[in-house]
Amino acid sequence: MRGSQAAVGRAIGDYTLRDREGREVRLSGYRGKPLLVSFIYTGCFQVCPTNTQALQKAVAVARDAVGDGRFNVISIGFNQPADSPQALKSFAAQYGINSPNWEFLSPPAAIVADLARDFGFAFVATAAGFDHLLQVSVVDAEGRIYRQIYGEAYSPDYLTEPLRQLIAGTPVADATSLAAIIEQVRILCSVYDPRTGKYRVSYAIVLEIAGGVTFLLWIIWFFFNEWLTRRRSARRSRALKRVDS
């Protein structure tokens, strides 16, 4: 845990891995959007599948909250050479993970230790397989670790909240369009409902924002009106002085 927390704020190196089809993928290619990263090994028949399924549910909630395609997910097989692209492909198919923005990556054995260290991920080989930290790393658009999420099963909002913070604070190319503004407001004003396990728009927050904007506009109008009044008074005073003289 200490090593994991020490990784927060760290920039991830530009490692080259292979996807499920054996194609080379560079981690730098994921920059520009938030990224969720988990470490698994395909020979695990209990914890890794459970953790991956919990992540799958959380990702579905996050997509509803922030929009599809606004972030990426990768699962890295750390048990090399067993976690080959084919093994990871079979693992993903077994648990029905076929999202276009979720990839399973296989690193060369030589970089596993450095890769794990960058993410603050710890694992130890045992007679039964591996003991390892259960974590999902939230990486920002610049490739730095923003948050670590721990546990075998967790509330989906633990994952969605840091994503909302990152996405709401990221400028978008069409930020001046009405659709982009509405989308940003929707993300900012959505709240997690533990009863349904989903996010919904909180109109109370919308009203608070509208009230705050209205108050700010009123303050601006007040001071502008005061400035105009004083300017008119000064003009009248100067005009009266000219008449008297």
Pick from 12, 143, 149, 25: nearest CA to 77: 25
Number of C-beta neighbours around residue 205 at 10 A: 14
Residue 228 pLDDT: 83
Q: Are 103 and 74 in contact (CB under 8 A)?
A: yes
- Min mean pLDDT across 19-28, 44-53, 194-203 is at 194-203
Q: What is the dihedral of CA 51, 73, 147, 159, to 10 degrees?
A: -60
CATH class held by domain 2-171: alpha beta
Sign of the alpha-carbon dihedral angle for 30, 98, 61, 53: negative
Residue with tokens 């029905």: 96
Q: How far is CA 164 from the centre of its chain?
A: 6
Residue 57 region by backbone torsions, left for phi larger than 0, else alpha for psi between -120 and 50, else beta: alpha
Residue 119 pLDDT: 97
Distance CA 96, CA 170 (A): 31
> Which secondary-structure segment (H or E) carries 5?
helix 2-6
Distance CA 154, CA 178 (A): 35
pLDDT tens per residue, range 62-114: 888 888 888 999 999 999 999 999 999 999 999 999 888 999 999 999 999 99
Residue with tokens 């919990």: 54
Residue 59 pLDDT grade (very low, low, confident, very high; cuts 50, 70, 90): very high
Residue 175 pLDDT: 47
- The whole model's pTM is what? 0.74
Residue 177: pLDDT above 60?
no
Q: Which amino acid is at 45?
A: F
